[in-house]
Amino acid sequence: MRNTLLRRAAVLATTLGLTSLGLLGAGAAPAQAAISDCPQGYFCGWASGDGTGSMFKTRTSVPTLGSWDNKIRTRYNRTGLNVCMYDQPNYGLAGGYSWDTPDQNYPTSGGDPDTSSIKLVPTLRECEAEPYPYWETATSPRASGFGDMNGDRRADAVLRDEAGRLWFMPGNGSGRLIGAGGWNAMNALVRHGDFSRDGREDVIAREKATGKLWLYPGTGSGGLGTRKLIGSGGWNSMGRLAAFGDLSGDGRSDLLGVEKATGKLWLYPGTSSGGLGARKLIGAGGWNGMNALVGAGDMTGDGRADLVAREKATGKLWLYPGTGSGGLGTRKLIGSGGWNSMDHILGVGDTSGDGRPDLEASDGIWLYQYQGLVTGGLRKVDSSNASWWALEGATAF
């Protein structure tokens, strides 16, 4: 039995590329002892190929390695962060870089000892870029409030990154942290609308563990205030949620939800106290066939908020116009196919500066603008924005 277990361990070590570390067989004890000196929370390195001898360690980014420059052959990442290793000092990209993913179970070795600087970051994207993508929008001719969280007449976007941080992108190419962490506890994040009735756009989030629904009131500067419970539980029974604007026609922002078990579409009207009223059925079934719902504003120009939905089976994009009675009218095809290739679809108001709501969509690399037309249709514009890469696990809204 001992030989069998040893063979299995050897195969595993070979698969993981550890045979060069001397962790198995004769001479294993000194190497294992040296490697075990790397404490939890640190990135460690050795000049040897087997993890013996003097050890370099850090738990913060290091712009220059000094005497360890171009020396590290064996490394062990126990930081819980991504470790970016650059061929140039000061995190220079000219010579390229490599990386180790968080909390490795084993040290690794091999390759040339060419590391001159080390950066520790929550997301792999930050090895060479900001944690958020580039987002720039034109100034709208009028202040509609829809999609504008800081009141500058530019459509804004919010990004929850893979590490659970929340970033506010105000439409000028910059970004700002508005949530330091913990947002991965939410399995739905939506806006639009002033639910708290203070003239500022808010965010609604559903808590994954409890099914509770929380309102995060906008501060007017792009940030979020103290949250308020607006749904005590049971919201995990809903598949997709869409904060809509005013569909019921009472001047208050509403929320839409698709019931997982039945595929029914429900309207939850906003109340004067910032909560949600008794729900109303506005879609008898079949809404589980949609894999994206976007409250995109008044796309048809009739003064009523509309809904955009993507059909899972076909990748088609449909516009459902709002009616004066708080329901949805006959749908209209505005995208004939291919929309399933889009990772993010954002309806955040007027991004083109012509006064009409638009859509923005990303395929995982490029961001495209789909300008809203007077007919309620869309016109695709390539904005030459290729900054939407390495956002796996992120949510833009």
Higher pLDDT, 32 or 331: 331
Taking a C-beta distance cutoff of 8 angstroms, is the pair 290, 309 a contact? Answer: yes
Q: Is the per-residue pLDDT at 11 higher than 70? A: no
- Count the neighbouring beta carbons within 10 Å of the beta carbon of residue 193: 24
Q: What does the pLDDT average to over 295-311?
A: 94
pLDDT for 20: 35
Residues 6 or more apart in contact with residue 67 via CB below 8 angstroms:
none
| Per-residue pLDDT at 192 | 82
When the pLDDT of each residue in the chain is averaged and rounded to a whole number, the result is 90
Residue 362: per-residue pLDDT: 97
Asked if pLDDT for residue 250 goes beyond 70, the answer is yes
List all residues 6 or more positions away from 24 whose beta carbon is below 8 Å from its beta carbon. 6, 9, 10, 13, 18
Write down all domains in the chain, each with its CATH number in brackets: 33-127 (2.60.20.10), 157-396 (2.120.10)
pLDDT of 27 > 90? The answer is no
By C-alpha distance, which of 388, 392, 345 is closest to 369? 345
Nearest alpha-carbon partner for 356 in 334, 380, 372: 372
d(CA 73, CA 249): 66
**pLDDT per residue over 305-363, tens digit each?**
999 999 999 999 999 999 978 899 999 999 999 999 999 999 999 999 999 999 999 99
Strand order in the sheet with 317-320: 290-297, 306-311, 317-320, 332-335
DSSP letter at 157? E
Q: Give whole-number Cα distances, 321 to 11, 16, 100, 244, 375, in Å.
A: 61, 55, 49, 12, 12
Helix (H) or strand (E) holding 98: strand 97-100
The whole-number average pLDDT for the span 232-252 is: 91
| pLDDT for res 199 | 83
Q: Please identify which residue in the block is written with the tokens 């000892």.
A: 113
pLDDT of 383 reads: 85
Please tell me the predicted confidence (pLDDT) of residue 2. 25
β-bridge pairing 186-190 and 176-179 = unpaired
Question: Mean pLDDT over residues 108-124, rounded?
Answer: 94
What's the pLDDT at 174? 98
CA distances from 221 to 156, 174, 238, 284, 369 (A): 11, 14, 31, 39, 25
pLDDT score for 198: 86
- Checking if the pLDDT of 18 tops 70, the result is no
| pLDDT the model gives residue 29 | 34
pLDDT of residue 24 exceeding 70, the answer is no
Tell me the mean pLDDT in the region 238-259: 91
Residue in 374, 375, 306, 317 with CA at minimum distance from that of residue 341: 317
pTM: 0.88
Which residues contact residue 19 at a Cβ distance below 8 angstroms, ignoring those fewer than 6 apart?
10, 13
pLDDT value for 111: 80
Query: What pLDDT score does 1 carry?
Result: 27
| Confidence tier at 197 by pLDDT (50, 70, 90) | confident
pLDDT for the residue 3: 31
pLDDT reported for residue 22: 32
pLDDT at 96 (0 to 100): 94
Confidence check: pLDDT of 279 > 90: yes
Q: Which residues contact 254 (CB under 8 A, 6 or more apart)?
A: 193, 243, 244, 245, 246, 247, 248, 267, 268, 269, 270
- d(CA 177, CA 123) in angstroms, rounded, equals 14
Report the pLDDT value the prediction gives residue 396, as an integer from 0 to 100. Answer: 97
**Of 70-84, 161-175, 188-202, 256-270, which gets the smallest average pLDDT?**
188-202
Q: What percent of the chain has pLDDT over 70?
A: 92
Question: Which residues, 6 or more positions from 70, have their beta carbon under 8 angstroms from its beta carbon?
Answer: 113, 114, 115, 116
pLDDT score for 8:
33
